[in-house]
Chains A and B, each alone.
Chain A
Amino acid sequence: MAIVFQKTKGLTDKPTHYCPGCTHGIIHRLVAEVMEEMDLLENAIGVAPVGCSVLAYDYFNVDMHEAAHGRAPAVATGIKRVHPENFVFTYQGDGDLASIGTAEIVHAAHRGEKFTTIFVNNAIYGMTGGQMAPTTLIGQKTTTSPYGRDEATTGKPIKMSELLATIDGAKFVERVAVNNPANIRKAKKAIKEAFKVQLEGKGFGIVEVLSTCPTNWGLTPVEAMKWLEKDMMPYYPLGNFRKPEEVE
């Protein structure tokens, strides 16, 4: 019998701890599939963050580091400087990357570090129980913005891709979403292109993935997908912000 589908070798057999309807699982699979397709599994070294994907080191079937909160880009810098021939990536959430780790991500991009970051933006702190993130939308209720995020006291949601695209060392910056099959295919393509930028030694690359958090948003998985489309995507427009000419 012909095999028509197989689970990627880029993921371990360990069942993930993610909530039902969470899109981390899809994003893990995309990253793992691309690594497998590009023959990177034996060579890759990944860095897991602190947040919902803290246990990513149990799921990606490659050598992994678990970093302190926000410091994954610094840890990846250390790894890549020692092993410039290895493929190095970080996998970070929005609390990790857009709040406590802004200095690390900005300066890794600024130095043009040759690794790739997968940035999962679900507009909330998931692991700690649904607190406000810098990416939380105006009016969005969280456990630390119980009356809805107020622009006057907490500012507007931070747009990391737009910010990082202003930095010359960031050679590939794209925002994608995993809300429907078409966008999932686009997300996979963006991840592949970002990996290629690293492998060709061009510099830093980041793919921001808009993701859902039904548990902490207080929505069903289907409602969460709709909220992502209706509320998140208008504020966080999808698309490429930077790429080297050769990749276009």
Chain B
Amino acid sequence: MTKVLMKGNEAVGAAAIAAGCHYFFGYPITPQSEVPEYMSRELPKVGGAYVQAESEVAAINMVYGAAGSGARVMTSSSSPGIALKQEGISYCAGAELPCVIVDMMRGGPGLGTIQPAQGDYFLATRGGGNGDYRLIVLAPADVQELVDLVMEGFDLADLYRTPVMILGDGMIGQMMEPVEFRYQPRTDLPDKDWATRGKGKGKQRNVINSLYLQAEELEKHNHKLQAKYAKIRENEKKVEEYNVEGADLVITAYGTTSRIAKTAITKLEKEGYKVGMIRPISLYPFPNEAFEKIGENCKGVLTVEMSTGQMIDDVKISLQGRIPTYFHGRSGGMVPEPEEIVEKVKEILGGDR
């Protein structure tokens, strides 16, 4: 298949439709408005439905209804809108409804800015909603990976009956890169025999629900969810590693920030520095084993984020104090420059190269 040049946000829509998602419920917010625009244009052509909800709160609850009805369904927003969706996301997790939620992050807190940021890491990986739940969180670094992860996201959602969040930022949503669509659906996806379609003749009725008034029942349900998350941690970790072995310093970054880090590493290599990189692609489950492999001779792990320091918590948990950790972050919509990272690495390593 030939490549096409597409904006990240439009590629999200195209990838979803290619993966069989015919229902989208959204609300405009910069920098992701091209997703609802694309879906409103393209979904009628495939016999699907686009609904512009009255709010992000309504949008995610429409997702709940559509997912409970057995359809592949998506919603997208940017940080403040994703904050509003937390109620419905928690309900989807509790009722075990598969769906894909796209967050093209912008600077915060509050109304913040429309420029790119990565301040929703905690929200995405710790659950911004109430209760003991997790999402599968996938963080693409380029538009092709964005397309691939949206498609895979639908499969993972169906496989585990769980919401999947695609965590991008304003930069990946707005930028254009060549992409191709090569979706091969998994063949091991279970039937959605739990979905509501009208109970039909003589069949057991289905109920989509997250309410368990008996404490014993809810604890049992929570254990079931935890067992599912354990399976996800066992099977679904994704990470890209670059020259980690023998590195004097390892940089870790996700999403678009990892690209800036890569440019910095190229510069550092030219100057003789041995710098490796770990790029978590799945933020939940977090690829902690990649960090466990870092040798004792490594002088430090530098986390670079477009935030004031969120993923670094998971890095520290993974390293368990074995290796010193450092942080470089920009926030508020500021994008780190490769030169800043180069300087930070030199500061940590001193003259060692």
**Bound together:** yes
Who on chain A is nearest to B199 by CB? A63
Q: Which residues of B contact A (CB under 8 A)?
A: 23, 25, 49, 51, 53-55, 57-59, 61-71, 73, 87-88, 91, 95, 196-201, 205-211, 213
Whether the pair A82, B205 counts as a contact (CB closer than 8 A) is no
Query: In the bound complex, how far is the Cα of B25 from the Cα of A74, in angstroms?
Result: 10
Whether the pair B196, A64 counts as a contact (CB closer than 8 A) is yes
A31 CB, nearest partner CB in chain B, Å = 15
Chain A residue contacts of B206, Cβ below 8 A: 63-64
Query: In the bound complex, how far is the Cα of B23 from the Cα of A62, in angstroms?
Result: 24
Query: In the bound complex, how far is the Cα of B52 from the Cα of A74, in angstroms?
Result: 11
Query: In the bound complex, how far is the Cα of B213 from the Cα of A54, in angstroms?
Result: 11
Query: In the bound complex, how far is the Cα of B62 from the Cα of A65, in angstroms?
Result: 12
Whether the pair A103, B55 counts as a contact (CB closer than 8 A) is yes
Who on chain B is nearest to A76 by CB? B65
Query: In the bound complex, how far is the Cα of B199 from the Cα of A169, in angstroms?
Result: 29
Contact with B along A95-125 (1 / 0, CB 8 A): 0000000011011001100000000000000
Whether the pair A74, B209 counts as a contact (CB closer than 8 A) is no
Whether the pair B69, A78 counts as a contact (CB closer than 8 A) is yes
Chain A residue contacts of B59, Cβ below 8 A: 74
Query: In the bound complex, how far is the Cα of B88 from the Cα of A59, in angstroms?
Result: 24
Chain B residue contacts of A27, Cβ below 8 A: none
Which are the 10 A-B pairs with shortest beta-carbon distances? Answer: A78-B65, A74-B61, A78-B66, A63-B196, A107-B54, A75-B65, A78-B62, A71-B61, A82-B69, A66-B209
B51 touches which of A63, A67, A87, A111 (Cβ 8 Å): A111
A74 touches which of B65, B73, B95 (Cβ 8 Å): B65
Query: In the bound complex, how far is the Cα of B87 from the Cα of A162, in angstroms?
Result: 30
A245 CB, nearest partner CB in chain B, Å = 28
Residue from A44, A64, A66, A82 having most chain B Cβ neighbours under 10 A: A82
Query: In the bound complex, how far is the Cα of B25 from the Cα of A81, in angstroms?
Result: 10
Who on chain B is nearest to A67 by CB? B61
Whether the pair A77, B208 counts as a contact (CB closer than 8 A) is no
Query: In the bound complex, how far is the Cα of B196 from the Cα of A57, in angstroms?
Result: 12
Whether the pair B63, A64 counts as a contact (CB closer than 8 A) is no
Chain B residue contacts of A111, Cβ below 8 A: 51
Chain B residue contacts of A223, Cβ below 8 A: none
A68 touches which of B23, B61, B207, B213 (Cβ 8 Å): B61
A109 CB, nearest partner CB in chain B, Å = 11
- Given A45-B69, A63-B196, A81-B49, CB of A75 within 8 Å of CB of B62: yes
A103 touches which of B54, B62, B207 (Cβ 8 Å): B54
Whether the pair B61, A83 counts as a contact (CB closer than 8 A) is no
A179 within 8 A of B: no
Query: In the bound complex, how far is the Cα of B68 from the Cα of A58, in angstroms?
Result: 17
Chain B residue contacts of A71, Cβ below 8 A: 57-58, 61, 64, 87-88
- Given A81-B49, A82-B71, A103-B55, CB of A45 within 8 Å of CB of B62: no
- Given A74-B53, A78-B73, A82-B71, CB of A68 within 8 Å of CB of B65: no
Chain A residue contacts of B61, Cβ below 8 A: 67-68, 71, 74-75, 78, 104
B18 CB, nearest partner CB in chain A, Å = 19
Who on chain A is nearest to B200 by CB? A42
Chain B residue contacts of A43, Cβ below 8 A: 198
A58 CB, nearest partner CB in chain B, Å = 8
A61 within 8 A of B: yes
Whether the pair A79, B25 counts as a contact (CB closer than 8 A) is no
A47 within 8 A of B: yes
Who on chain B is nearest to A40 by CB? B198
B197 touches which of A63, A76, A77, A103 (Cβ 8 Å): A63
Chain A residue contacts of B213, Cβ below 8 A: 55
A86 within 8 A of B: yes
Who on chain B is nearest to A111 by CB? B51
B65 touches which of A44, A54, A65, A106 (Cβ 8 Å): A65
Chain A residue contacts of B208, Cβ below 8 A: 64-66
Query: In the bound complex, how far is the Cα of B207 from the Cα of A57, in angstroms?
Result: 7
